[in-house]
Amino acid sequence: MATARVEKYILFVFFRLLTLASIYILMHIAQIQTIPEIVNVLKVLTTGALAFLLAFLITPFWTHILYKYKFGIKIKSRSVDGQKLTYINKLHAKKSGTPTMGGAIIWFSILILVFASHYIFPAVAEWFNTDFIARLDFLSRSQVWLPLFVLTASGILGLFDDVMSVRGWGKNKGGGMRFAMRFWWLLAIAALGSWWFFYKLGWDQLHIPAVGDFSIGFWYIPLFIFVILFTAISSNETDGLDGLNGGMLFMAFSSFTIIAFLQNKVDLASFCAAVSGALLAFLWFNIYPARFFMGDTGAMSLGATLGIIAMLTNSALVLFIIVFVYVMESSSVAIQLFSKRFFKRKVFLAAPLHHHFEAIGWPEPKITMRAWIFTIITSIIGVIIGILGMG
């Protein structure tokens, strides 16, 4: 009875927050009165819709390849510290053989759309004598080049890792890259991004919502690297249940679509909307029981790209609010590893945290739905703080 009352209270708070956030966002939209602003809104919405349709059309062809060449996952028998798993391999045994690398659909769709908007849409606009199609171009050097590069580079890295895991290649037991190798590659990508921001763009400020901007000098580089590594690794850790990480990433990118748009970064908002649209198409096939999994090619690339977008919008602190589930998931892994190493005992039955809930008997869809509800709440809070604290 007590648990039921708590759940009802949480749902009550959730719907109140959703209502308040909707009113607040609608009030901002209502202030949009000029034609260019309306066109920008339509540009963002149209880009998201096109990404959804493109990813939806690509999915049957990609899944056919995955099933034909048997790119199915192998259930791991050992954790990252080399110890034998006692719960997860049993709970997920039925998922063995389900295709992975579904995340490639997302970043491949974005690549097609972003270059089509720049090179093909203007010709189409001229053919049909309409200016709006040409306005859909969102390949902006200052706003989109870096997140697009990170999305593609880390996506290719994850794709190699997925192929190695499926085929049993590599020195890692069971196949795939060792965590250290993935970490160093991600570190290199993050370091390149931090160099671009600090030395090429001259960025060194940390924005604290409702307080202001603070110049942190060279410390901006380790902050940048930490944010990218956190989002990439946490996304990878959270990608353990059908639809769990895909739904959370959809909410996160949708949140940054709003934040970027209200910062007048329309091309970046369009990019975020495109990722959200592609993620929505992916989720159509990934919800329980999943037809395929995201894999490292999706989890790492989308996580790293989310971090880049947070830095581009100067919303690093807001990011940690929006994806607070990532904070809990990564913290559970760190606590578990620390406790096992120094105290020779587990704090959780399994880590990350979603596996602990599985181990105590929560059904997989219930864990996913509750994580989604929690992320909707944190996303709403994050967007409100991000908007109010722009300053």
Bridge partners (DSSP) listed for residue 207: 213
- Retrieve residue 80's tokens: 């990252």
Q: Which residue, among 247, 287, 292, 350, has the nearest Cα to 73 in the 3D structure?
A: 292
Residues 6+ apart with CB under 8 A from 357: 367
| Structural domain harbouring 216 | 32-388
Give the span between the Cα atoms of 115 and 122, in whole angstroms. 11
Q: Alpha helices of the chain — where are they, by DSSP H?
A: 2-30, 35-68, 88-91, 104-119, 121-128, 131-135, 145-167, 179-195, 220-238, 244-262, 266-286, 296-312, 316-322, 324-342, 353-359, 364-388
The 8-class DSSP code of residue 206 comes to E
pLDDT digits over 321-349, tens only? Answer: 999 999 999 999 999 999 999 988 999 98
- Does residue 4 lie within any of the structural domains? no
All residue ranges of the chain with pLDDT < 50 are 1
Tell me how far apart the terminal alpha carbons of the chain are, to the nearest angstrom: 45
- Does residue 3 lie within any of the structural domains? no
- Measure Cα distances from 11 to 7, 29, 321, 372 in Å: 6, 26, 19, 12
Per-residue model confidence (pLDDT) at position 212: 86
Residue identified by tokens 């989308």 is: 302
Residues 6+ apart with CB under 8 A from 160: 177
- Does residue 23 lie within any of the structural domains? no
pLDDT digits over 75-106, tens only? Answer: 665 555 555 656 666 667 677 778 889 999 99
- Retrieve residue 334's tokens: 């760190």
Phi-psi region of 217 (alpha: psi -120 to 50; beta: other; left: phi over 0): left
Per-residue model confidence (pLDDT) at position 222: 95
- Does residue 13 lie within any of the structural domains? no
Residue identified by tokens 């990722």 is: 275
- Does residue 213 lie within any of the structural domains? yes
- Does residue 67 lie within any of the structural domains? yes
- Does residue 15 lie within any of the structural domains? no
Environment class of 342 (CB within 10 Å of its CB; exposed 0-12, middle 13-18, buried 19+): exposed
- In the chain, the number of structural domains is 1
- Retrieve residue 195's tokens: 């160099």
